[in-house]
Structure 1
Amino acid sequence: MIRKMLNASQLQQEVDRRIHRLQEVVDDGVKIRVLRPQLQDEDKTGCNWTMKHFGNAAGFERGIDDVLKAVRAEYNLRTEAKESINPFGD
């Protein structure tokens, strides 16, 4: 499966959105802090990013792991820099 590419902010938002849709998170009304993804060498599955150290996540580790597994299977971190445009044209 070919992964879609997202930048770090988009990946962070997608993981945050999915975590806060977990039933146990909704039921407890907890706000889990999601940090930005970290670039890494591609692992055996072809994923090039990871996330660790979620804030206020005690007791929700299993659900978070499931979310990460799903998002890591769907998306890779975009690594190429956007082409900058010189406003002076030189």
Structure 2
Amino acid sequence: MKRKTLNASRLQDEVSRRIHRLHTVVEDGVKIRVPRPQLQEPDKTGCNWTMKHFGNIAGFERDVAAVLDEVQAEYNLSEETTSAAADDPFGDFPGR
């Protein structure tokens, strides 16, 4: 299956949404802090990102790992930042 691509914010939101929708997480009323995805060299499955250091995860490690595996199988992290874009806070403004 070909992976869809999301930027870091949308990928972080997707992982958070799925974690906070889990029955065990909802039932316990816990709020798990989801870190920003980090770009990496593609692994053996082709996934080019990872997440480390979730907050308030005690007791939910397996659930979070399962969600992370699921999302990593569906999405890759877009490589949206280039040095030119990083230098120009307004992006490519037409007419310049």
Pairwise same-fold verdict (TM > 0.5)? yes
Q: CA deviation at 1:38?
A: 0.2
Residue 76 of structure 2 aligns to a residue in which SS? strand
Q: Return the alpha-carbon distance in structure 2 between the equivalents of residues 62 and 47 of structure 1.
A: 20
Identity of aligned residues (%): 69
Q: Which residue does 1:78 correspond to in 2?
A: 78
Q: Which residue does 1:53 correspond to in 2?
A: 53
Structure 2: which 5+ residue stretches go unaligned?
86-90
TM-score (normalizing by structure 1):
0.92
Letter matched to residue 86 of structure 1: F
- What is the aligned length? 89
Whether contact under 8 Å (2:7, 2:80) holds in the other structure is no
TM-score (normalizing by structure 2):
0.87
Give CA deviations for 1:6-50 in whole Å, capped at 9, x if unaligned.
Answer: 000000000000000111100000000001000000000000000
Instruction: Extract structure 1 runs of 4+ deviating beyond 6 A.
Output: none
